[in-house]
Chains A and B, each alone.
Chain A
Amino acid sequence: MSLGRVLRNTTLAVLALLWLVPTWLLVVNALVPATSYSGSPHWLPQDFGLFDNMSQAWDKANLGPALGNSLVYAVVSAVAAAVLAGFAAFATVVMPVRRQAVWFWVIYSGTLLPLQVFLRPLFLSYAHTSLYDTQIGLVLIYTAIAIPFAFFVMRNYTLTLPREVVEAARIDGASWWRVYWQIHVPLTRSAMIAVFVFQFVAVWNDLMFGITMVTSRNIRPVMAALADLQGNYSNVGPPVVLAGALLVSLPTLLLFFSAQRFFVSSLKIHR
């Protein structure tokens, strides 16, 4: 093994270990049985109480329906955002649109605003239009929030694609719709998947809109349900909270794991 490779592997190992420390603490303290928690963080696993803690968290916070709700919100919003942003990126880059920069800034500026700004006005409009405490209301907000960044990524990716294929297809007489679905989408597939993964994680982990825009147990997203365990008045210890947090992070972890394999599968760079 060359010196370069050894150096590379060592640096990588050190970085990976450093990154692992907080995650390690998280897992170890979720393993501690709730009743034997001493009040200060544990470093080494002793007993195995993970499943007990998880089922406690599940029962106390009623995570079952919440997980289903979050799945609906995350999938629908992420897919809708990826598709709509894909359309918009295609339109502003490939199709004949005057003043493309203006449209870029109109959509991209949505990501520049702090989210808390939207809370009050959106809540008031929702309360008046009876979108408050509905699933469709939450989906609309999540999609709207996800679109600007998705658009940014899709547009940047689209800019790197060659125009010639599209030009040739248009000369052949294909409609824009056809061009989009048969030529553009296959080319931008990896960007769309990246966008889907990011927006899924963002919507899945959202707390603020989940506790403000809905209040009923049956449509609450999972982070809002989990927050019940962590409030100012909660009397469950950290092990149960951490076990619950691990439990609700499993879908995003799985998604990341499989997405990673997709991203890396075609990595051809030879070193």
Chain B
Amino acid sequence: MSASGRTSRAAAPLARRRFLAGAAAGAAALTAAGCARGTATSAQPGTTSISNDNATWDDGYRAAGRELKKITGYSLRPLSNPSVTSYQQVVQMTLQTSKSSDLVKWASGYQLKRLARAGGLTDLGGVWKGYADKGWVRGESRDAFSYRGTVYGIPLYESYYVLFYSVPVFRKLGLSAPGSWEELLHCAEVLKRNKITPFLASQVGGWPAIEWFQELVSKTDPHFYQRLVAGQASYTDEPARRAMDLWHDFMRKGWMTPPDFDQARGPGALKEGTVGMFLHGTWQSAGMAAAGLEPGTDYGAFILPTVRPATAKSVIAESGVFAVPSHASSHTAAMANIASWLDPSVQRVWSDFLQDSSANPTVRSSNPVVAALQRDIARDHRLPLVRYWEAGPPSLIQGNTDDLGGFMAGQTSPATTLRRMQDRAHDEWAAWKRDEA
């Protein structure tokens, strides 16, 4: 070591000590800041927390919560998770612990059954009966919200699967909402001739692949659809094959958008006139509004006509649910809120926010397009069918959705796709029944 090195080394410890002191102070400050706890997961008196997977509905929950507060004294506090898969994981993993929220948004049907099977959900039979007596809920849909006869969920909303279309574009081409299959084909041909893609079909995100499948099968034969999703009919039976052939035909004629077309672009595409008809749930109305489309003047909606005129009319309906975990920190508050959720004053606010229809049949939608659909469904006595996503064991649905996505990308023929779906159905129904035993 040279002499200069030695003197600089003597000065170094002092400088180093100061540096270390500064670093330690900074670290302490940061760690003190880092000791913050999340405010949302602790119980807050006067509110009930809701876990949900859709942050765009937070304002709606809060508005509905203000109405609820007038009735029960508890408002709603939404905790949203932006990823659907992550959300499902978090809910399933917290259900058995005290960290679960007071109310949980979930899907109905078999999704709810699977959640209930793990234990941890409160029996809501009393609440349901109260609603049914007042006529605030459709009694015949009880099975979609229960598991082994016990009700575990209260419907959150009720959406229908329809085709949205742009009113100005249709008017310019001399078209109107089709009432029969022939009219639908005519609309598609006219649109195609004018270089507008007739139908929007997508498998982006995975689950949208079921939308055309469920529509075409149910409009070919709705009773077959019911048997199919209950595991009592085969995917290789004739109605399913006819539906898939129709779909394949549409794709070959270039009537459908490429399967990597993101549905989030749907409202914009309708507005621009690049797509003619957009198959989606009526909860899309909020997205239409956000794109600047007015119901009635800018867009309308109709339910897909049946393939043959004699076929029974049906509509695919979707309802999310509210469930109450047994270990919720504010359990009594949650039970009070869920017992008043379908109150018309609350549903009025909620339905207006969603621009969709409420699960309470006495509350009419304020969106004229949706209100017209509600009248149409009631007048034609349309058979309500459960959405495919909730209609069977989740593993089966997930696997079949992957197969449909592959079909849309042209990987398999209709016959091969159906055969694969049937093989999987056979295995998964056996697994479900085994787990039920």
Contacts and interface: CB of A to CB of B under 8 A. Distances in A.
Q: Are A and B close enough to touch in the complex, i.e. CB under 8 Å?
A: yes
B268 to A, nearest CB: 4
A246 B29 CA distance: 29
A136 B34 contact: yes
A233 B226 CA distance: 28
Contacts of A230: 82
B274 interface: yes
A258 interface: no
Contacts of B81: 211, 215
B295 to A, nearest CB: 15
B39 interface: yes
Interface in B260-281: 264-265, 267-269, 271-272, 274
A139 B398 CA distance: 34
Interface residues on B, range: 35 or more
Contacts of B374: none
Contact of A182 (B12, B41, B269, B291): B12
Contact of A127 (B1, B55, B97): B97
Given A133-B38, A218-B38, A219-B38, A39 B99 contact: no
B30 A76 contact: yes
A205 B287 CA distance: 28
Nearest to A227: B82
B415 interface: no
A216 B54 contact: no
A234 B56 contact: yes
A40 B273 CA distance: 12
B41 A119 contact: no
A123 B55 contact: no
Interface residues of A, number: 45
Interface string A94-138: 000000000000000000000000011001100110001111100
Nearest to A61: B55
Interface stretch (B87-95, B144-152, B333-341): B87-95
Nearest to B292: A35
Interface in A37-58: 37-40
A212 B38 CA distance: 13
A163 interface: no
B54 A231 contact: yes
A265 interface: no
Interface in B31-47: 31, 33-41
Q: Most chain-A Cβ atoms within 10 A of its Cβ — which of B27, B38, B90, B264? A: B38
28 contacts: A39-B268, A39-B269, A39-B271, A40-B274, A76-B30, A119-B89, A120-B93, A123-B89, A133-B99, A134-B36, A136-B35, A168-B1, A182-B9, A211-B82, A215-B40, A215-B81, A215-B90, A216-B38, A216-B39, A216-B79, A217-B39, A218-B38, A219-B38, A228-B55, A231-B56, A231-B83, A235-B286, A237-B268
Top 4 nearest A-B pairs (CB, nearest first) are A216-B38, A133-B38, A216-B40, A227-B82
Given A133-B99, A228-B55, 15 more contacts: A38-B272, A39-B268, A72-B30, A123-B90, A127-B94, A168-B1, A211-B81, A215-B81, A218-B36, A232-B205, A234-B55, A234-B264, A236-B290, A237-B268, A237-B291
